[in-house]
Amino acid sequence: MPVDERRPRAPAPGSMLARLIDGPIAPGHVAWIGLRPARRAPMRAVEEALAEPGQGLQGDRFSSTRNGARQVTLISREALHAIAGYLSREEILPERLRRNIVTTGINLAALHGRRFRLGGALLEWSGECAPCSRMDEELGPGGYNAVRGHGGITARVLSGGVIRLGNPVERLLGGEG
C-alpha cells in the first residue's frame, strides 16, 4: 500500500513525541457561533446551536443526513488575529470566513485525530478546513493565502447536544467519549 505523503505519520506509541502530543492542554471556550442558512447567504450569529449526530448544526446549510466530514467547522480567534495581521487589518469578522464556531484559548491543531466535547455535544476531528476560492473575493487580494494554514478544522458530530457561547472546548483522552 503506498504511503500518503500528505498525511503525517502517527508517532510510535510510547515515544517521546506521542507523550508530548497526548500531553495536557488547557480547555478553550466557544466565542462565537454562526449558521449558514444557504449558499452565499449571510451568516446568522446565534447564542446557541443544536448539534445533531451525523448531520451537523441544525439550521446550517451543511447539516445533512450524508454523514460527511464537514458537519461543523471551527476556527480559533487567535487564527482570525493572525489572518488579520497578514492582511494588515485590525480585525477579521468570523462571518467573513464562514466557519460555524470560533474558539478561544485552545490550539485546534491539538484536536487532530481526537474526539472533543463542545458544550453538550461530542465531536471528532475530521480534517483541516482549507480556504475556498472565495477568500480573495471576501477578504480582498491575498485573502486566500492569508487563510492558508489558519483556516481551522472540520468535525463530525458523534453525539448531539446544545452548544452555547462560553461553553468549554475540551479534548478527550483516548478512551473517553
In a domain, 174, yes or no: no
Run of H or E including 32: strand 28-35
In which domain, by residue range, is 97 found? 28-50+71-168
pLDDT value for 21: 78
CA distances to 40, 102, 120, 162 from 46, in Å: 18, 12, 16, 12
CATH number at residue 40: 2.40.33.20
What's the distance, CA 148 to chain centroid?
Answer: 14
Decide: residue 8, CB within 10 A, 0-12 exposed, 13-18 middle, 19+ buried.
Answer: exposed
pLDDT value for 39: 81
In a domain, 21, yes or no: no
pLDDT value for 117: 97
**Calpha distance 141→147 (Å, rounded):** 12
In a domain, 173, yes or no: no
Determine contact, residues 63/55, Cβ cutoff 8 Å: yes
Run of H or E including 84: helix 77-86
Q: What is the mean pLDDT of each run of 10 residues along the chain (177 residues)?
A: 55 82 85 90 94 93 70 97 97 93 96 94 95 89 94 96 98 71
Total domain count for the chain?
A: 1
Is 18 strand, coil or helix? helix
Query: How would DSSP label each residue in 141-157?
Result: TTHHHHHTT-S-EEEEE
In a domain, 33, yes or no: yes
